[in-house]
Structure 1
C-alpha cells in the first residue's frame, strides 16, 4: 500500500524522528562478532583464533606460526597453526563479517526518496517536489531487525563450527602422518633384515645348503617388504601434504618436523555416562538448527502480520505552477498508494512460511536423533579401539619381545637355526605393524568422539574399524 502525509515538512519530520528512534542499535561490533567464536573454541579445543583484517594482525599471526614451526610439531601445535594460518577459515570469518553487515543494514530505517520535477511550456512552468517513505518497511523494522539478529547469531555459530571442523581435520591428518612415519621406520628396519636374509639364502643356495623353494621364500619376503616400504613412504608423503594444506603452509614452511611415532596411550579412557545428553547440549550444528527454527518462527509471525499488506508508502507533495496570465498557484497534499488484496490475500506466502517452519522443525528433530546415535557409536568405537590398542601394548608386544629374546638365546646355543630366528622376526614385525594401526585408529576415534560431542565434522569416517583391527591381529598371529 502507498500513503502520503499532509505536507512535505511533516513527512520529513516523521521520517527523521523514526530514523533516530529505530537506528540507535545499528552499529558494527569491534571484533565482527568473533567473541562468540573465540569463546566456543577456547572451551572446546582450548585454542586461540584470529580474524586477520590488517597488516598488524597478519604479522602477529605469522610470528606465532613461525614460533610453532621452529620445533617438532605436536598435534596441538598443528591445530593452532591451522587456526592462525588457514585462509579458508579466514574466508569463513569474512562470512561472519558479512552477516554482521546484513544485521546493521536490516536495523536501519528505509531511506526516504526525494524527487523534484520541473515542466515548462507555452510560457508556463510547473515545479513538483515529493518525499516518499516506505511506511510498511518502517513499521516492520523491529521484526526484521530481530530476524537479522538471529541470523547473525547463526553466522557466529557457523564460524565456530568451521573452526572446529578444521581442528578435527588437522588432528586426523596429523595422526595419519605421524603413524605413517612410524610405519616407515619399522619397515625400513624390516627391509634391512630381509635384505640380509635374502643374501644369506643366496649364498647358502650356491653351496647347496638351501633348496630353491626356501631361497624363493626369502627373496619374495624381501621384495614384498621393499614394495610395502615404498607404498608406506608414499602414504606418509601424501599425509604430510594434506596436513600442510590444512595448516596453509607453503614455500620454506614445508620443512616442518613431525614426531617419529604416535604418543603413548592415555592411562585411562574417558568415562562418559551421559554422552547423549552432552552431545545434544553441546553440538554446534544443533544450536544452529535451533536458531534457524527461532528465526523462521519470527518470519512466520511477520508474514502472518503483513499477509494483506505488501506495499504501504507515504509521500508528501509540494507543487507550484507559474503562468504569466494567472497568479502563481501552489498545492500541498499527500498521495496514498496501496495494494488491494483481491486475488492474493497472502495465503500463499503464509502457507510457504508455515511449511518452511515445519520443515525446519522436522529436520531439527531428525538431527537430534542422529546426534544421539552418532554420540553412542563414537563412544563405543573410542572404547573398543582403546581396548584393542591397549591389548597390543600390554599383551601382544611384550609377549613378542619375550619370544624374540628366547629365540636369540636358543640361536646362541645352536638349538635353532638362523631361519627360525628370521621367521620369528617376521611375526614380530607383523605384530608391530598391527599395533601401530591400532594406536592410530584409537587417536582417530578420539577425534571422532570430540566431534560427536561438539560438532565440526561427520562424527565418523575414521580409520579401520575395531573389527578390522581385530581381524588384522588374528591374521598376523597366524603367520
Structure 2
C-alpha cells in the first residue's frame, strides 16, 4: 500500500509542477504591442535588443529623414528611435521575467550538519519543501500571467502615447514654421513700405504722422516675427525630443504648410462605446480587478494556513565499526494563535474594492474624454473651415479694394495700415485654427484608443496654453 501512496504523491507533485511552469516568449511579449501598433497606428515597432535590431531601426529612420517629414513619418521615427519607449519595452521584459519566476515551483532547502566527539560521529541532513506554495502554484501562476498581460497593455499604451505626442508636436512645429513664413512675407512688405515712406518723408510728399505710422507697423511686424521664430524653434525642439533625434539628424525638413482640412469631418455617434471597448487604460484597470479578485480568493482559502512545510530527514551515526541510519519526516505548521488571517483577508478585500472603484472611475473618465474630444474636433473643424471659406476670402477682397483706394488717394495711410494689421491677424488666426483642428483630431484618436497624456485637455487652446512640455520624456 505504501508504494501506491508514494506513486500517487509523486504524480500529484508532477502535475502541479507541469501546470504552473511558464517559459520565456521568443519576442519578450512584443507581439501584442506590435499587433496594437499595426492595427491602431498602421506603424511598426521594435524592441532594440541587439546590434542587428539597432542597425535595422537606424536604417529605417535615416530613410525617413531624407525626405520632408510628414506626420505619419514622424510617428514612425518616434516609435523606432525614442529611447524612452525602448525603456518601456525593457520594463515589459522585466515583467515577463517576474511572470516566469512566479510560475516556477518553490525551491527546496537542503541543510547538512555533522557532529563528532567521543569516538563517534553523526551526520544529519534535512530537505525542506514548502507544500503550501506548491499547492497554490497554479493559482499564483494564473495571477502572474494576468500581471504580465497588464505589462503588455502598459507597453502598448506607452506606444500609443508616444505616437500621439509625436503627431501633436509635428502639427505644432509645422504650424509655427508656417506662421514664421507668413510673417516673414508681411515683414518684407512692411520693410519696403517703411523705406518708401522714409524717402517720401524726406521730400515732403508725406507728413511725419504717416511716416511714423509706417515705421510703427514695420516695428510691430518685426516683433511679431521674432516672437514667432522663437516659438517655432521651441516647437521644433519639442518634436526633436519626441523623435529622439540628435547630431546630424537635426537637419530634417518639415513641410512649409499644414495639411489641408479633410473634405468632411468624422461622424462617430457611438464614440463612448468605442472608447470603452478600445481604450487601453480601461483594459488595464479591468485586468487589475480580475487579478485582485483571484488574489482575494487565494487569500481567503489560505487564511488559516500561511506556512505548511514538509521536511525529509536523514541521519547517519557511526560509533566504532557500527553505523546506524535513521530516516523520517517533519511537518511544520504556523499556528494562527493571534491572527486568524483576518488582517490579510481584510487587506485583500480593500485592494479589490479599490480596484473596482478605479475601474469605474477610468470608465467614466474615458466616456467623458471621448465626448469632449469629439465636440472639440467638430468645433475646430467648423472654425477652421469658416476661416478658409469666409474670412480669408473676404479679407483678400478688402485688402485689394483698400489698395486700389489708397492708390487713387481716396484713403490715407492710417486706414491702409489698419487693414494690413487686421489681415495679418486674420491669417495668423486661420493658421492657428487649422493647427487646432489637427491637434483636436489627434486628441480624438487618443480618447478612443488610449495614449492620452496625464492631465491632457481636449481643448487645443488649453493644450497650447500649457506649452505641451509635460508631454515629453
Q: TM-score, normalised by structure 1?
A: 0.91
Deviation at 1:19, TM superposition (A): 7.7
Show the counterpart of 1:390.
Answer: 385
Contact 1:308 1:346 in 2 (8 A): yes
Range that drifts further, 223-232 or 170-179: 223-232
Task: Determine which of 456, 461, 465 is the counterpart of 1:464.
Answer: 461
Contact 1:61 1:84 in 2 (8 A): yes
Deviation at 1:403, TM superposition (A): 2.2
Show the counterpart of 1:360.
Answer: 355
Contact 1:115 1:131 in 2 (8 A): yes
3-state SS, counterpart of residue 464 of structure 1? helix
Deviation at 1:337, TM superposition (A): 1.1
Alignment of 1:46-85 (within 5 A): 46-85=42-81
Range that drifts further, 445-454 or 423-432: 423-432
Show the counterpart of 1:285.
Answer: 281
Alignment of 1:94-133 (within 5 A): 94-133=90-129
Deviation at 1:329, TM superposition (A): 2.0
Contact 1:197 1:422 in 2 (8 A): no
Deviation at 1:23, TM superposition (A): 5.9
Structure 2 residue 213 is matched with structure 1 residue 217: yes
Structure 2 residue 365 is matched with structure 1 residue 370: yes
CA distance in 1 between partners of 2:251 and 2:381 (Å): 32
The two structures, once aligned, show a CA RMSD in angstroms of 2.3
Show the counterpart of 1:349.
Answer: 344
Range that drifts further, 113-122 or 67-76: 113-122
Task: Determine which of 390, 395, 403 is the counterpart of 2:398.
Answer: 403
Task: Determine which of 43, 49, 72 is the counterpart of 2:39.
Answer: 43
Contact 1:19 1:108 in 2 (8 A): no
Deviation at 1:461, TM superposition (A): 5.7
CA distance in 2 between partners of 1:23 and 1:63 (Å): 44
Deviation at 1:226, TM superposition (A): 1.1
Deviation at 1:263, TM superposition (A): 0.5
Deviation at 1:328, TM superposition (A): 2.3
Structure 2 residue 181 is matched with structure 1 residue 185: yes
Q: Return closer, same or farther for 1:414/1:215 CA change in 2, 3 Å cut-off.
A: closer
CA distance in 1 between partners of 2:105 and 2:327 (Å): 25
Task: Determine which of 426, 429, 434 is the counterpart of 2:424.
Answer: 429
Show the counterpart of 2:468.
Answer: none
CA distance in 2 between partners of 1:231 and 1:225 (Å): 10
Q: How many residues align?
A: 459
| 1:444-478 Cα shifts (integer Å, max 9, x gaps) | 11111111111101452653169x9xxxxxxxxxx
Deviation at 1:112, TM superposition (A): 1.4
Deviation at 1:116, TM superposition (A): 1.6
Deviation at 1:409, TM superposition (A): 3.9
CA distance in 1 between partners of 2:193 and 2:258 (Å): 30
CA distance in 1 between partners of 2:260 and 2:417 (Å): 28
Structure 2 residue 324 is matched with structure 1 residue 322: no
Task: Determine which of 332, 338, 341 is the counterpart of 1:337.
Answer: 332
Deviation at 1:411, TM superposition (A): 4.6
Structure 1 gap segments, 5+ residues each: 1-5, 469-479
Show the counterpart of 1:90.
Answer: 86
Show the counterpart of 1:454.
Answer: 449
3-state SS, counterpart of residue 145 of structure 2? helix
| 1:350-385 Cα shifts (integer Å, max 9, x gaps) | 000001100110111111111111111111011000
Deviation at 1:218, TM superposition (A): 2.3
Range that drifts further, 196-205 or 18-27: 18-27
Show the counterpart of 1:172.
Answer: 168
Contact 1:126 1:322 in 2 (8 A): yes
CA distance in 1 between partners of 2:322 and 2:115 (Å): 17
Deviation at 1:205, TM superposition (A): 3.3
Contact 2:20 2:105 in 1 (8 A): no
CA distance in 1 between partners of 2:327 and 2:135 (Å): 25
Q: Return closer, same or farther for 1:316/1:465 CA change in 2, 3 Å cut-off.
A: closer
| 1:42-71 Cα shifts (integer Å, max 9, x gaps) | 111111111111111111110000010010
Structure 2 gap segments, 5+ residues each: 466-473
Contact 2:17 2:105 in 1 (8 A): no
Contact 1:23 1:109 in 2 (8 A): no
Show the counterpart of 2:25.
Answer: 29
Deviation at 1:200, TM superposition (A): 2.8
Deviation at 1:203, TM superposition (A): 3.1
Deviation at 1:106, TM superposition (A): 1.0
CA distance in 2 between partners of 1:178 and 1:186 (Å): 12
CA distance in 2 between partners of 1:135 and 1:80 (Å): 51
CA distance in 2 between partners of 1:199 and 1:412 (Å): 17
Task: Determine which of 123, 145, 148 is the counterpart of 2:144.
Answer: 148
Deviation at 1:103, TM superposition (A): 1.0
Range that drifts further, 187-196 or 217-226: 217-226
3-state SS, counterpart of residue 426 of structure 1? helix
Show the counterpart of 1:473.
Answer: none
3-state SS, counterpart of residue 265 of structure 1? coil
Show the counterpart of 1:471.
Answer: none
Q: TM-score, normalised by structure 2?
A: 0.92
